[in-house]
A and B are shown apart, each in its own frame.
Chain A
């Protein structure tokens, strides 16, 4: 069974800082991995999809990396802004519709 761990569980940084969120997973036989954002009281929104053959994927100030063999992914957020405050979840996908396993997330707060 896929186990997904996200560290840290919570993070508070001042505006403008660059930061890294970590995700580790136990089953490295993944097809891809997604990063999601969840605002309080809302559903999840997909941020980035990184395929197993890729090392990195970028969208604006977000950059996701994937080291499939070691079971790790990181989400790098550049020049953080208060609007980035949310919970970020990673979800590796192992090939069937049900096999999207979510981590418990990192709750990020960006302060002014």
Chain B
């Protein structure tokens, strides 16, 4: 397995534009997590799925953020409209945190001008 694959790796967009980040998780893992990392706030959990169902989205900052997992091999995080304060690195991860098995993608670096 190639690990967790995220795209795009880098995205630069203008305020107000829609941004879609994509994640292909490791097969066989039931949990999928979206995190956001900034210098000020560190790594924050946005939302997680279990068997493609969103379980906890309390970390999603605003209604401008939405996430979907239409099947076990694909998830998206969408920001519409984007704002400069959304600039961050967004990580997708799969596995079981409680078992010490959490595998991260390399992240999508978003810059909103």
Contacts and interface: CB of A to CB of B under 8 A. Distances in A.
- For the side of the interface on A, what is the size category? 20 to 34
Contacts of A28: none
Contacts of A45: 104
A97 B43 contact: no
Interface residues of B, number: 25
Contacts, number: 57
A98 B47 CA distance: 8
Interface of B: 4, 31, 33, 42-43, 45, 48, 50, 55-56, 58-59, 91, 93, 96-102, 104-107
15 contacts: A31-B98, A32-B100, A34-B102, A41-B107, A43-B104, A43-B107, A44-B43, A44-B91, A44-B104, A93-B98, A97-B31, A97-B96, A98-B55, A100-B45, A100-B98
